[in-house]
Amino acid sequence: MVDGIFWDNDGVLMETEHLYFQACSEALEREGVALSMDDFLEISMRRGESVLQLARLPKSGESALRDWRDERYLAILANEAQIIPGVVETLQRLHGRVPMAIVTGCRRNHFELMHRGTGLLRFFDFVVAREDYVQAKPHPEPYLTALKRASLPPQRCLAVEDSERGVAAAVAAGLACAAIPGGFNAGGDFAAANWRLERVSQLPELLGLG
């Protein structure tokens, strides 16, 4: 049993990572750069950096390209973001039995748009979004921010992640971590996670809350 569960969003709750790849790819195409899946996985998914650096633009140009990418991502999310299968049923089983929060790298406007009709937020006590901290995952700051807000010790909390950098952030903050790699992270190194699960529905049994 744990005192709190902190959930990543993209790739854990919501199936959106392929949509982010699409928006980044379309943005780079505007500068004549083809974004490969290998580059996206290494730069964005594993290192948590911006693939827009591949355009080699001056800071002002990259900022404008990022604005275009973010607007395009919003448009795609509005129509195509989907809940990952098994998430609703799992959250229903855990809700009210253990405090839960979301710790995401999403900008708040992206996050709010993708959850506009999901109904998932009723299961969570609060959300830590990208604007709530300075250093992104794999830095531990997102999870340290959540722990402070929840007034919980890390040793009694669990993070649920799908990426190597998310696992690294959680472990560095002192949390146990259950990794559920999706298609974008299936080939990653998750040795730092305490558990590697095949699907989210396994989580209640893992915690003795089945």
pLDDT tens by residue, 45-81: 888 889 999 999 999 999 999 999 999 999 999 889 9
Residue 182 and residue 158 share a domain: yes
Cα–Cα distance measured from residue 196 to residue 208, given in angstroms and rounded to the nearest whole number = 16
Least confident segment among 77-81, 125-129, 170-174, 195-199: 77-81
Residue 134 and residue 38 share a domain: no
Cα–Cα distance measured from residue 210 to residue 197, given in angstroms and rounded to the nearest whole number = 15
Is residue 187 scored above 90 in pLDDT?
no
8: number of Cβ within 10 Å: 27
Residue 106 and residue 199 share a domain: yes
Residue 195 and residue 177 share a domain: yes
pLDDT band of 28, cuts 50, 70, 90: very high
Q: Are 128 and 145 in contact (CB under 8 A)?
A: yes
Residue 36 and residue 120 share a domain: no
* pTM over the 0.85 mark: yes
pLDDT at site 46: 81
Q: Which tokens sit at 195?
A: 């558990």
Cross-sheet strand order for the sheet of 176-179 = 126-128, 100-103, 4-7, 157-161, 176-179, 195-196
Domain boundary among 65, 80, 95: 80
Residue 111 and residue 196 share a domain: yes
- Give the strand pairing for 126-128 and 100-103: parallel
Is residue 210 scored above 80 in pLDDT?
no
Least confident segment among 72-81, 90-99, 179-188: 179-188
